[in-house]
Each structure stands twice: as C-alpha cells, then as structure tokens.
Copies of this chain bind each other. A is one copy, B any other.
Amino acid sequence: MNKTKKIEDKDLSTEEKIKGAAKKLFTHNGYSATRTRDIAKEAGINLALLNYYFRSKKKLFEIVMKENVYLFFGALIENMNNNPRPFEKQLDFLVGRYIDLLLENPDLPLFILNILQSGKFPQEDKDDPLLRNIQHMRGYFLKNIQDALEKGKAKNLHPFHVVTNLMGLIIFPFIASPMMMARSGNISRKEFERLMIERKELIPEWIKAVIKLK
C-alpha cells in the first residue's frame, strides 16, 4: 500500500534516486540547511548508501551544483549558438527560453545567487566546456547589446544597465514570488504562471524601450 512514490521511482537507479533527492533539497534549502539524513529519507534509501555512491555530502553537493549551473547557464549558451539572427528575435528567444526554464525550476535562481554570494560557485575549470564558455558568453552578450544600443537612441547608456534589467525582469519575479503569493497575497499559483507567460511578450518590449530601439 502507498506505493505511489515507489512506482514512479521504479525505473530509476538507486544512484539517480539519491541524486534526485539531493537536487531537490539542496536546491530548495541550500547546503548548510540540508541534512544527509533528509536526502536519504527523501530518496527512500539508507543513509549509508549515500556515502557509498557519492563519498561525501560535499561531493554530492558539487555534482548537484554543477548540474544546476549547467541548467541555468546552458540556456544562454544555447542562445549564443543560435547566433546570427536579428537582435529582436534573439531577445524573444532568450526571454521565452528562460521563463519556461524557471517555471519548471522556480528554485533555481535563488540557488544560483546564493552560491555566487557564498563563493561556492565552481572555479574556472579549463576542462569544462561550459565553465570556459561562461566568460566568452559574457563578452558575446555585451557585444550584442552594444550593437543594439548603437542602433537605438540611448547610445550613452552603459550596457550593464541593459544586461541587469533583462536578467532582473526575467528572474526577479521568481525569487520574489513568496512575497507575491504570501498568505494574504492576492496572487495564486495559477495566476502567477499566467503572468509569467504574459511577460514573455512584455519583457522584450520593455527592453526595447530601455535602449530606445523603436
């Protein structure tokens, strides 16, 4: 009886079950607030197995962290590789891609921002294609923004503002959602999702207004 959880987990290996549970708890609560015991319980296995598969809490966290970093920055890389399109289309693509990603992984942004502040963010790894690309990506992205600024009428605006606004408009609602959906808050979960979909079309317009492109 009560096999609902076991059923959907049946095709997952023990290792995958542990990693899945770790991802869920680490991403939602962070490193220090997460107990290995809780991960084991969430995975439906014994505590000893966690160390059998992953050696230590720290190593397990680093795996989860890296996956989350990939998930978060991977969308940017993807955008970068779809390079030679007009800026406006690229903007639409990026915004849509990220809002979909964050609707699926609402805890992701706060997790990333926390590891950035805590200094846990993975250091540059010459062997890791993504981590190496993040630097290139930054330059590429700035280049695109600068080109767009040249075409617009806000030529003296520092590209920092554009990048920050774009990221903030996409990401902030997700990290502030507990405030918006608080006990007496007016916004329900369903309503929140509807508004996020709306923003897919709104954010590109707002950004174009920022760089005075139209």
CB interface residues, A 124-160, toward B, < 8 Å: 124, 135, 138, 157-158, 160
Taking a contact as CB atoms under 8 Å apart, the answer to whether B176 and A206 are in contact is no
Nearest-Cβ distance from residue A139 to partner chain B, whole angstroms: 9
Q: Point out the residues of chain B lying under 8 angstroms from A84, CB to CB.
A: none
Asked whether, in the complex, the Cβ of B176 is within 8 Å of the Cβ of A168, the reply is yes
| Contact assessment for B176 and A165 in the assembled complex, using a CB-CB cutoff below 8 Å | no
Partner of A113, one of B121, B175, B184, B209: B175
Residues of B within 8 A of A28 (CB): 117
Q: Which of A15-23, A29-37, A85-93 lies on the face that meets chain B?
A: A29-37
* Least CB separation from A161: chain B residue: B202
A44 within 8 A of B: no
Is the C-beta of A4 less than 8 angstroms from some C-beta in chain B?
A: no
Chain B proximity of A212: nearest CB distance (Å): 9
Cβ–Cβ contact B116 & A114, under 8 A: no
Q: Please, what's the 1-or-0 string for A163-177, where 1 marks a CB less than 8 Å from any CB in chain B? A: 011011101110110
User: A198-B158, A206-B210, A210-B206 are known contacts. Are A164 and B184 too (CB-CB below 8 A)?
Assistant: no
Given A116-B179, A124-B183, 11 further pairs, Cβ under 8 A: A31-B33, A32-B32, A33-B33, A110-B117, A117-B178, A158-B195, A165-B169, A168-B168, A168-B172, A206-B209, A206-B210
Q: Is the CB of B135 within 8 A of A184?
A: yes
Judge whether A199 is part of the interface by a CB distance below 8 angstroms.
yes
Number of interface residues of A (CB under 8 A): 46
Minimum CB–CB distance from A211 to chain B (whole Å) comes to 11
Decide: A160 and B180 in contact? CB cutoff 8 A. yes
Judged by a CB distance under 8 angstroms, whether A118 is at the interface is: yes
CA distance A32 to B33 in the complex (A): 5
Closest chain B residue to A113, Cβ basis: B175
- Which of B30, B124, B157 interacts with A32 by CB under 8 Å? B30
Binary CB contact string for chain A from 6 to 27 against chain B (1 if under 8 A, 0 otherwise): 0000000000000000000000
